Amino acid sequence: QVTAKTAFLFILPQYNVSVPTADGEQVQYHYGLKDLVTILFYIFIAIILHAVVQEYALDKINRRLHLSKVKHSKFNESGQLVAFHLTSVIWCLYVVVTEGYISNPRSLWENYPHVYLPFQVKFFYLCQLAYWLHALPELYFQKVRKEEIPRQLRCIALYLVHIAGAYLLNLTRLGLILLLLQYLAEFFFHMARLVYFTDENNEKLFNVWAVVFVVTRLFTLTLYILVMGFGLPRVENQTLDPERGNFFSFLFNNILFRMSVLLLVCLFQASVMWRFIHFQLRRWREYWNEQSSRKRAAAAAGTKQQAKPLKRDSGYHENGVVKAENGTSPRTKKLKSP
C-alpha cells in the first residue's frame, strides 16, 4: 500500500476534491506543490518518447535524405514538434469540445476564478509543462548547435510562462483555446519545413501555413478582447482574494488598466504580424530572384545555341566522303545528250 500511494503521487494528479453539482457530486482538482512530482515523472516519459520518435522515425528518414548538418538539425527539430503539435491539437480539441468551452464561449470567464479543474484539463496542463521542461535537457542530448540554443531557449521560456501563467492564475479555459490556435499554426509551419527538406521545390504548404497563421492571430486577438475587455469586468467577485484564486479580476474594473492591457496585447500581436510579413516578403523576394536568374540562364543558353548552328547533311560520311542514303554519290549526275 505504501508503494502504491507513492506511485499514485507520481502518476496521477493530486489535490482532488468533491464538488457538489446539479447531478450530485463531481471529483475535480486544484493545484499545489505535489504537482511538481507529477511533472517530474512525465518529464522522463517525454524524454523516452522523444528518443523513440528520433530513433524509429526521424533517423531512418535522415539516412535516406542525406541532409547537411544544418538541415539535419532543423529536420529533427521540426519532426519532433510535428509529432508533439499534432498530438496536442487532437488532445486539446477533444478537451475543449467535451468540456463545452467552444459551444459556450461565456464559460471562458463565467464563474471566474476557475479554481477547480476536471481531470482531463489538469492532466493536459501537467503534460504540457512536462514536455516543455523536458526540452531543456534535450538541448544537450540532441547536441544542438550553439547558434540555435538562444532561439530555442526563448521559445521554451515563452511557452512555459504562458502555460504556467494560465494554470496558476486560474485562466485555464482561455489558455486551452489559445494553445489550440497556437499549436495549429505551429503544426503547419513545421510540416511545411519537413516537406521543404524532402523537396526544395515544394513550398505550397508554406502558403497554407501563412493562411492558417493569419486566421489564428485574428482569433487570438478577438479572444483577448472578448475575455479581458468584456468578460472579466463583468465577473461578480471583483475583490482581491488570493485564497480563492482571484488574483486580478478586480483590476479590470479600472478602465485605464483594462485599456493598457488590451493595448499591450494588440502591440504584441502587431509585432508578431510584422515579423510574419517581413518573413513572407523576404521569402517571395528570394523566390522571384531565383526565378529571374533561371530565366536569364535559360536565355543565355538559348543564344549560345543560336550562335553555333549545326550543319545537317542529307547523307552520311564514309571514309571522309559524303554519300547519300542509298549508297550513291549525293552529287547530281550530268546526263549525256543523245
Ranges of each domain in the chain: 1-253, 261-297
* Res 136: pLDDT: 94
**What is the rounded distance in angstroms from the CA atom of residue 182 to the CA atom of residue 222?**
14
Question: Taken in order 143, 149, 154, 155, is the CA torsion positive or negative?
Answer: negative
Give the list of residues 6+ apart from residue 131 with CB closer than 8 angstroms, or none. 42, 46, 84
Q: What's the gap between Cα 156 and its chain centre?
A: 13
User: Does residue 216 have a pLDDT over 50?
Assistant: yes
User: Does residue 9 have a pLDDT over 70?
Assistant: yes
| Highest mean pLDDT pick, 49-53, 235-239, 246-250, 258-262 | 49-53
Q: What's the pTM value of the predicted model, to 2 decimals?
A: 0.82
Average pLDDT over every residue of 270-283 = 86
User: Does residue 206 have a pLDDT over 60?
Assistant: yes
Give the list of residues 6+ apart from residue 62 with CB closer than 8 angstroms, or none. 72, 75, 76
Biggest CA pair distance of the chain: 131
**Residue % of the chain over a pLDDT of 90:** 39
**What is the rounded distance in angstroms from the CA atom of residue 309 to the CA atom of residue 312?**
9
Give the list of residues 6+ apart from residue 136 with CB closer than 8 angstroms, or none. 156
Mean pLDDT of the chain: 83
| Highest mean pLDDT pick, 38-47, 54-63, 250-259 | 38-47
Among the listed residues 177, 211, 11, the one whose alpha carbon sits nearest the alpha carbon of residue 96:
177
What is the grid cell recorded at 253?
Answer: 474594473
